Structure 1
Amino acid sequence: MTERAFLTTLFEAAVAAADARTALRPHLPPRPAGRTVVVGAGKGAAQLAAAFEDLWGAPVEGVVVTRYGYACPTRHIRVMEAAHPVPDAAGLAATEALFDAVAGLGPDDLVVALVCGGGSALLPAPPEGLTLADERALNDALLASGAPIGVMNAIRKHASMIKGGRLAAAAHPARVVSLIVSDVPGDDPAQVASGPTVPDAVTLEGARALIETRGIALPPALVAHLGADAARAPRPDDPVFARNEVRIIASARLSLEAAAARAAQMGVPAVILSDAIEGEADVIGQMHAAIAREVVRHNRPFTAPVVILSGGETTVTLRNRDGRGGRNTAFLLSFALGIEGQRGIYAMAADTDGIDGSQDNAGAFAHGGTAAAIRAAGHDPARMLADNDAWGAFHAADALFVPGPTGTNVNDFRAILIGAPDDI
């Protein structure tokens, strides 16, 4: 087995651990006396809806929204598609459809919310006085700021009519059970898809402070909106949420543990650095490269052969809005530069949803000769990293990883194989 095949096998094990049917089965709620209505959003929402229909085996209705090209067949639950990461008019229609689905429910009815990563962009809902263009401008400003996902979501929730628990509040007095596939560091359910059914403890004043301390430049219309008390999202202690329940059914932690187990089955010890690593992708790449070099040169902090696994969600501060790629390829290009010329190190970084940023790849592969291969193709890897064109660098080196949409999303997956045995 080649090193690429080995790393791909680990990625597949991580994705399989977050499979919709596997994740949902142990978390199905008791059946209600009234109706069962499913709502949901995210890159894996259609697969979750289809699995829920199969497992529930009783009358069910509702609507979920997913990214264009990520839909799958369902029998009773309507699947809508919208744009990601830039919200569009289809997302507005999907948001309206979700509110329609939970309207007029009573205390005997059950709402099952199937929520996973990507839902924030798929559910635009600008408050009165703002437009879809304003929501796009907010999204652009937050992405360009390089702020971690928790900060971005804390601000988004006070500039939306659906985020921050507002969809669950609209379903009251029905009971809402949120079944969440976490793609955020720390698995805070209020952060996944900006929490359409889970309120957040970050207040409006807290969101304003985050904007100020991080120097995030927002358009005047959004500054005015967030300056008014009407922007305030509901609090977690609001009585409308008293009967609701929230469960994390899949996460980066569980997926990394599955990958580690698969590596052990193939005879390679595995260690998990963390499932919640945040920070600038290039800096995190440098850090991982330093660890890999230390293992090769001094057999510490781990002894080779070993595969080092990590997850979380890094960020990329945009310097070139025409750049290509995403945070995983940016991480890996920085890593490739950090291990240049070093033998015995092979790595992959990929988004578990199958798409990393702006192109059709999930991520890429790298080793000690990758930076030289990029140069041999006529490119400067350091310049391409600075220009936010990590995709172009790995395309030039024929090192892209393109599995296609996976139907789930538990965030970044990174695997570094050091001192690979001959019989992997």
Structure 2
Amino acid sequence: MQTAQARALLIASFHAALAGADPLRLVPPYLPAPPSGRTLVLGGGKAAASMACAVEAHWPDSAPLQGLVVTRYQHSLPTRRIAVIEASHPLPDGRGAETAQQMLARAATLTRNDLLLALISGGGSSLLALPVAGISLQALRRVTRALVNSGASIQDINTVRKHLTQLAGGQLARAAGAAQVRALILSDVTGDDPTHIASGPCCADPSTFGDALAILERFRIEADAAVHAYLRRGAKGEIADTPKPGDTCFARTENRVIGGARQMLRAAVDYFQTQGVTATIVNEAETQSSQQVAQIHVHRVRQILANSGAARPLVLLSGGETTVATQGSGRGGRNAEYLLALAIELHGMDAIYALAADTDGIDGTENNAGALIGPDTLSRAQALGLNPARLLASHDSHTCFAALGDLLVTGPTRTNVNDYRAILIA
């Protein structure tokens, strides 16, 4: 298989995977029947606009429908009945907070005959971040940034945010009063637990103010004094906590995870099958560091190559979300770092190609979804005077792949089910 053919195959597989996670396909089967009263659509996340479009396309024209969702800047789509607002991610801004305030007010107008249809996807924790009274948006941004940089898990970060914001941790469901609540959720977290996706606006929250304080202490987060004071008051019972399992508001609430990494990876398997290529899903939920996962995957490749009877070409697929340490001043997201580490571990091994990309179209903070490698990646980089090992050590993978012309740029995909990785053994 020639390099151009291998690259085209991998890129086409990524687009097939994205199609498998397309809200326009995933949302309609889970839409409830219209209620006797009004239907109010509220929600947030990187897939919020496409989820709203899916609702509009399949909701009866004769049934009342209105709403408001918030998505990341440049992730909007034109809608007719559901307004779409753009706001900041990964750190919250005033537009997101203002929109979240409007959502609370509108949810409070619902009655027993009405339906709150919540559209939830990854990124909603920041996009729907309305600080509690006494905590400034700047203070919330600072503690969020510190937690992200500390290496805290998304579960830990969201535990803190649930107790510093007004919609997370089941508070949107509580705001809906006597109305029925149906939350349709596109998962971007391993395990697909609704309470961790966008901080669970319609899910019971088992965590407490004390848990949030313990996380700040464990990761030595120097949050603003107002943040510590608020959480301490909550831990003493002076402030009402988020709604817990068994709260009456959840008797009328249903959370449905409608898609995630599994659908995305299965779509890729089906695509490769149409191309006569065997594809195997090795892990739907990778969570280790990018470099560790690269080492594990190269070990798997070597095992396959040691088996002379293995049919080729074949592809190893994986999902989940790897991590990258924050040390160093380089540019590059977790997928580019994974690929650079993979190329180094492979040592230019013949006939091995790979693609890794974030399904939301943004790898880290750059404008690329991910990148690609081939057998000549290291030699081409060295010919340009680059030192791949040094770039990896400084977490500067973007510089390497930009120089090689091997970045994968898709623009916003308007879905988000974490990362897609494919290793082609040609």
Q: Residue 40 of structure 2 aligns with which residue?
A: 37
Q: Is the 8 A contact 2:288 2:322 kept in 1?
A: yes
What is the aligned counterpart of 2:387 among 366, 380, 384?
380
Q: Which moved more, 1:41-50 or 1:193-202?
A: 193-202
Q: Is the 8 A contact 1:340 1:370 kept in 2?
A: no
Q: Is the 8 A contact 2:147 2:219 kept in 1?
A: no
Letter in 1 for 2:271: R
Q: Residue 156 of structure 2 aligns with which residue?
A: 151
Q: Trace 1:18-417 onto structure 2 (pairs within 5 A).
A: 18-57=21-60, 58-216=63-221, 218-229=223-234, 230=239, 232-298=241-307, 304-320=312-328, 322-417=329-424
Q: Is the 8 A contact 2:202 2:253 kept in 1?
A: no
Tell me by how many angstroms 1:303 deviates: 5.3
Q: Is the 8 A contact 2:38 2:65 kept in 1?
A: yes
Letter in 2 for 1:395: A
Tell me by how many angstroms 1:219 deviates: 4.3
Q: Which moved more, 1:222-231 or 1:98-107?
A: 222-231
Within 2, Cα distance between the matches of 1:153 and 1:191? 7
Within 1, Cα distance between the matches of 2:355 and 2:223? 35
1:365 alignment partner, SS class: strand
Letter in 2 for 1:315: T
Q: Is the 8 A contact 1:256 1:311 kept in 2?
A: yes
Within 2, Cα distance between the matches of 1:153 and 1:52? 27
TM-score, scaled relative to structure 1: 0.93
Offset from partner CA, 1:322-374 (integer Å, 9 cap, x none): 53221111222211211122111110110111111111110000123223322
After superposition, the Cα gap between the structure-2 partners of 1:299 and 1:324, relative to the gap in structure 1 and judged at 3 Å, is: farther
Letter in 2 for 1:64: V
Within 1, Cα distance between the matches of 2:142 and 2:279? 42
After superposition, the Cα gap between the structure-2 partners of 1:212 and 1:116, relative to the gap in structure 1 and judged at 3 Å, is: same
Within 1, Cα distance between the matches of 2:292 and 2:47? 29
Tell me by how many angstroms 1:283 deviates: 1.7
Letter in 1 for 2:69: V
Tell me by how many angstroms 1:70 deviates: 0.7
Letter in 2 for 1:305: P
After superposition, the Cα gap between the structure-2 partners of 1:231 and 1:139, relative to the gap in structure 1 and judged at 3 Å, is: farther
Offset from partner CA, 1:373-423 (integer Å, 9 cap, x none): 2232232222222323221121012110011111211111111111x2xxx
Within 1, Cα distance between the matches of 2:264 and 2:330? 30
After superposition, the Cα gap between the structure-2 partners of 1:147 and 1:288, relative to the gap in structure 1 and judged at 3 Å, is: farther
Offset from partner CA, 1:125-151 (integer Å, 9 cap, x none): 111221111111122112112223222
Within 2, Cα distance between the matches of 1:147 and 1:279? 13
Within 2, Cα distance between the matches of 1:413 and 1:134? 34
Q: Is the 8 A contact 2:122 2:198 kept in 1?
A: yes
Within 1, Cα distance between the matches of 2:359 and 2:97? 26
Within 2, Cα distance between the matches of 1:372 and 1:224? 56
Tell me by how many angstroms 1:91 deviates: 1.3
Q: Which moved more, 1:232-241 or 1:183-192?
A: 232-241
Gaps of 5+ in 1: none
Offset from partner CA, 1:303-331 (integer Å, 9 cap, x none): 543200110112222113x5322111122
Within 1, Cα distance between the matches of 2:126 and 2:299? 35
Q: Is the 8 A contact 1:290 1:338 kept in 2?
A: no
Offset from partner CA, 1:238-272 (integer Å, 9 cap, x none): 11121100111111111101111111121111111
Tell me by how many angstroms 1:79 deviates: 0.6
Offset from partner CA, 1:48-85 (integer Å, 9 cap, x none): 10110110123210100011111110001111000111
TM-score, scaled relative to structure 2: 0.93
Tell me by how many angstroms 1:216 deviates: 4.8
Q: Is the 8 A contact 1:42 1:122 kept in 2?
A: yes
Q: Is the 8 A contact 1:158 1:231 kept in 2?
A: no
Letter in 2 for 1:71: S
Within 1, Cα distance between the matches of 2:177 and 2:200? 16
Q: Percent identity?
A: 45
Q: Is the 8 A contact 1:7 1:347 kept in 2?
A: yes
Gaps of 5+ in 2: none
